[in-house]
Structure 1
Amino acid sequence: MTTTTIARAWMIRRKDGLTLGFTDHDVALSFDGVRFRPDHGMAARALVQGSGLSVDNSEAAGALSDDAISERDILAGRWDAAELKMWEVDWSDVGRRRLTFAGSMGEVSRSNGEFKAELRGLAEPLNNARGRVFHPRCSARLGDAGCKMVLSGTAFQTELEIEGLDDGRIFRFSEFPAFNARWFERGVLRILDGEAAGLHGAIKNDISLPGGGREIELWQSLGLTAQTGDRVRLTAGCDKRAATCSQKFSNLLNFRGFPHLPSEDWLLAPQVGSRND
């Protein structure tokens, strides 16, 4: 490969399938079914690649663009964990290329009309914990393969229109279905339409209001602010206790915790005998 004809090319694919290609060459390149555009400034910095299982890391930077990586999409988290590949390619013959990086985008930030994205190598998942944790509370996530709960019914979900909104994280509803108090705490609020469609957040508080209304507070505001009239879906929450699994969800057979483990007091002072049952 002739050094004077080397260019770099990046391919970014979001979880929703949107794929973009960029290059630092001055004309567009095409290969693997992707067109790599030169018209959006993008550069890679400080690529570090280690041998063995060490995690590759780098940083990508580029200009924000409404039709490419927009500030709105970054705020909405739509580029989080997007797949990313980087090549060195001979622009005179794109068949002569070498894959130099494969991984995903980590934290994405923006400032002064530019985005910056942390790049995570393929070995990054090896940092995650593996195996089960022995703990009195459940290790499954509500509705996943371990939990096996089906949440699509009206007993655990409801859809409503936003009637009041404060600080981008407090949602108010004047009329609310007959769910028990605090039913949705630790659950999920998902925006179904409007500019913030698809965004979701964890529910911190579910507060009953006079007259049958309800106030739902998220732990933090969403990347984009929803509007009154937008529809949302609320999904019930679980505190991962065995009693909740049994009484609220009737799902104790699939409980993934160890509710009868001795307490920390017993482990520290087993000699106290009958006080620890």
Structure 2
Amino acid sequence: MRQFSPAFDAHLKSGATSLCNCWLLTLRNEQQLGFTDHDQQIAFDGHVFEPKAGFQPSAMTDKRNEAVDTAEVLGFVDDERLTEQMLRAGLLANAQVDWWWVNWRKPEERHLMRRDYIGEIKQVDNRFEAELRSHHAKLNQKRGRIYQRHCDAQFGDGRCGIDANSASFSGTVTVTAIAEDGTITVTGLEARAEGWASKGTMHWQSGAYKNDRVSIAQHARTSGEDVLTLSHIKPELIEVGDMARVIIGCDKQFSTCRDKFNNSANFQGFPHIPGDDFVLRYPRPGDDLSGGVLFK
């Protein structure tokens, strides 16, 4: 059972309520957008909730087991903060949605109904439907470690141990061109070898993707210019002049960790784990069957 504050509970029991819904979207790049189905602007907790986007909630389900609660919210892309390009670029994917019931006459009387995450988004013309998934959805995500040959650490994190922000492993780039195929041309990598940033990370410092991180699939050099192919991102919101911090690429191989970074002691994989063909092997003359160390 929900526990409302005394003031909000008294308002609900008054018989004449003045309630509205308010949503606060927190995008992956930490940008926050407030919307309400009321016809006037509402503000609380330092956030302003605008009525212009025409949000409308659907029926929602609450389950009493480990199943994922779901709901939907409908809206129209008629707010300069929420554009069709943002939807296509995926900036709303996995965004956090805080959903309040608010007494619009006294916004201090409110209750946080749900905290969800945006799943599937459907768009038809100038209208969109966003599926809201409860925090139970995170129970379906991988937790813990997987025994595999490749390293499962993020380059530069505490388990890796390397300072990814040092001048040796990172650099600032500026976008100079965006091609039709989605690749971007940047300056700032002239002193690096071709392929230096392949499988690396780009941390945006300005532009629509500010504070967001994206993987770099390939770093090529064409006619003296550095061209980056980005993974899981659409270039529609990237503009010439946007800046980002680029971190060197790591392919998660043990040989790369040992030879390129001299960091084999911190390798977070199992490079010598037997493969699927191990069960098909049989003893052969000359095999070392002493039970000693096989790899040094």
Which of the five TM-score ranges fits, normalised by the shorter chain? 0.7 to 0.9
Q: How far is the alpha carbon of 1:161 from its aligned partner? A: 3.6
Shift of 1:111: 3.4
Partner of 1:252: 264
Pick aligned residue for 2:87 from 74, 82, 105: 74
1:234 is aligned to 246
| 8 Å CA contact retained: 2:182, 2:235 | no
Which residue in the other structure is 1:126 paired with?
Answer: 139
Paired positions, count: 274
In 1, Cα distance between equivalents of 2:45 and 2:192: 52
Q: Which moved more, 1:129-138 or 1:163-172?
A: 163-172
Say if 1:10 and 1:192 are closer, same or farther in 2 by CA, change over 3 A.
same
Q: Does 1:160 align with 2:160?
A: no
Say if 2:52 and 2:79, in contact at 8 Å, map to a contact too. no
For the residues of structure 2 that align with 1:30 and 1:176, how far apart are their CA atoms? 45
Aligned residue among 104, 112, 129 for 1:116: 129
CA change 1:205–1:82 in 2 (3 A) is: closer
Q: In 2, Cα distance between the equivalents of 1:162 and 1:27?
A: 40
1:5 match:
17
1:6 Cα offset (Å): 6.3
Contact 2:96 2:117 in 1 (8 A): yes
Number of the residue aligned with 2:119: 106
Contact 1:187 1:236 in 2 (8 A): yes
Range 229-238 or range 57-66, more displaced? 229-238
How many percent of aligned residue pairs carry the same amino acid? 25
Q: For residues 195-274 of structure 1, what are the structure 2 equivalents within 5 Å?
A: 197-198=210-211, 200-209=213-222, 212-219=224-231, 221-266=233-278, 268-273=279-284, 274=287
Q: Residue 189 of structure 1 is aligned with which of 182, 185, 202?
A: 202
Helix, strand or coil at the partner of 2:154: coil
AA aligned to 2:143 is: R
SS of the equivalent of 1:61 reads: strand
Q: Aligned partners of 1:214, 1:271: CA distance in 2, in Å?
A: 50
1:102 Cα deviation from its structure 2 partner = 2.1
Structure 2 contact 85–237 (Cα < 8 Å) conserved: no
TM-score, with structure 2 as normaliser: 0.75
| RMSD (Å) for aligned C-alpha atoms | 3.4
